[in-house]
């Protein structure tokens, strides 16, 4: 259950984003996208009731294994690409791809979650707002040049690199230096002898093409996700069987029925969890604008 305070929505002027998030979760049915069963509200909050995905975040699994074998990374990144492609067909740009927003289902398949930063972008139009996660920001986002669906293509390349190598390609502790590297540096790969990490030529070529600095030159800029999935990196992967979930994952979350070990244990073990108290001034803000939430 996702609890959303109405005063925060009003303060951040994020009503349109919240409505889009609801539209995506409530109306899109896709094997690799989290869906929502119910929406309800009370005087102070809106509640989204979504599928429970026992495997938790891809992030937690990546921390555990450090990096994935190439065949498993291929199996996973293809699902994420297919999910993004489905959104793009509906003129939705996701804008927040990262390991924390990809969930592992108990069957070993993945689901894209959290659409709080998603936006609608019509064909040949650009979005202008600045958003995303530092390590995953695309050059055009940093430069304020406007962005379209290819911003998701960039993050797809970052995610694949991180799954194979263990860290994002331009990561630096100094954020200003990292932003410089994102805009100017070429992608480099670990030395297979020295670092014991091997990234195949096909994987490198795909990553390099996804991480083209110019959004116009990125793989998939004209042909979409279908163009990406035609890259030689995916030659030995049956995409149709993947969509039908007929392939056997190499990596499975180690969970028993009802187990919660892939979730924040502070939340799982704290029986005293309570909704935060909304101050009177903020309650007045909600009351003044309660008409905005009618029929939400």
| pLDDT(245) > 70 | yes
Q: What is the CATH number of domain 58-243?
A: 1.10.510.10
Q: Rounded to whole angstroms, how far apart are CA atoms 147 and 141?
A: 7
Structure tokens at 187: 């992608």
Name the class of domain 2-51+264-293. alpha beta
Q: Write the DSSP assignment of 113-127 as a string of letters.
A: ---TT-EE--TT--B
Q: Which of 45-49, 138-142, 255-259, 276-280 has the lowest mean pLDDT?
A: 255-259
Say how far apart CA 219 and CA 157 lie, in whole Å: 10
* Residue 11 neighbours by CB distance under 10 Å: 11
% of the chain with per-residue pLDDT over 90:
75
- Nearest by Cα to 159 from 143, 176, 135: 135
DSSP-derived secondary structure for 185-247: PPP----HHHH-----HHHHHHHHHHT-SSGGGSTTTTTHHHHHHTSGGGTTS-HHHHHTT-S
Per DSSP, the three-state class of 28 is coil
Q: Where are the domains of the chain?
A: 2-51+264-293, 58-243
Q: Which residues are catalytic?
A: 96
pTM: 0.91
10 Å CB burial of residue 42 (0-12, 13-18, 19+) is: exposed
For helices 70-89 and 150-165, the axis angle rounded to 10 degrees is 170
Q: What SS3 state is found at 37?
A: strand
Chain segment 83-96, per-residue pLDDT in tens? 999 999 999 999 99
Using one digit for the tens of pLDDT, what is the confidence trace for 174-226?
A: 999 999 999 999 999 999 999 999 999 999 999 999 999 999 999 999 999 99
CA angle 67, 73, 75 (to 5 degrees): 155
């Amino acid at each position: 259950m996702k609890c959303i305070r109405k005063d925060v929505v009003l303060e951040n002027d994020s009503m349109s984003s919240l409505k889009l998030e609801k539209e995506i979760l409530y109306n899109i049915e896709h094997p690799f996208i989290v869906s929502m069963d119910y929406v309800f509200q009370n005087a102070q909050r809106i509640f989204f009731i979504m599928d429970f995905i026992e495997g938790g975040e891809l992030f937690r699994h990546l921390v555990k294994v450090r990096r994935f074998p190439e065949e498993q990374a291929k199996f996973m990144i293809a699902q994420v690409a297919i999910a993004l492609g489905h959104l793009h067909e509906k003129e939705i740009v996701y804008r927040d791809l990262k390991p924390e927003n990809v969930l592992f289902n108990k069957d070993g398949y993945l689901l894209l979650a959290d659409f709080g930063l998603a936006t609608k972008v019509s064909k040949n139009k650009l979005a202008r707002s600045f958003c995303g996660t530092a390590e995953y920001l695309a050059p055009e986002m940093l430069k304020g040049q406007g962005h379209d669906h290819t911003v998701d293509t960039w993050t797809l390349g970052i995610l694949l690199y991180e799954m194979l190598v263990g860290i994002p390609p331009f990561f630096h502790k100094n954020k200003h230096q990292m932003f410089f590297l994102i805009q100017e540096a070429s992608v480099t790969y670990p030395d297979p002898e020295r670092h014991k990490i091997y990234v195949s030529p096909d994987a490198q070529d795909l990553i390099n093409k996804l991480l083209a600095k110019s959004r116009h030159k990125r793989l998939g800029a004209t042909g979409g996700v279908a163009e990406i999935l035609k890259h030689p990196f995916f030659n030995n992967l049956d995409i149709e069987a993947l969509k039908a979930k007929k392939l056997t994952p190499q990596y499975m979350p180690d969970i028993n029925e009802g187990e919660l070990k892939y979730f924040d244990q502070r939340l799982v073990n704290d029986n005293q969890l309570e909704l935060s108290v909304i101050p009177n001034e903020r309650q007045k803000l909600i009351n003044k604008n309660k008409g905005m939430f009618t029929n939400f």
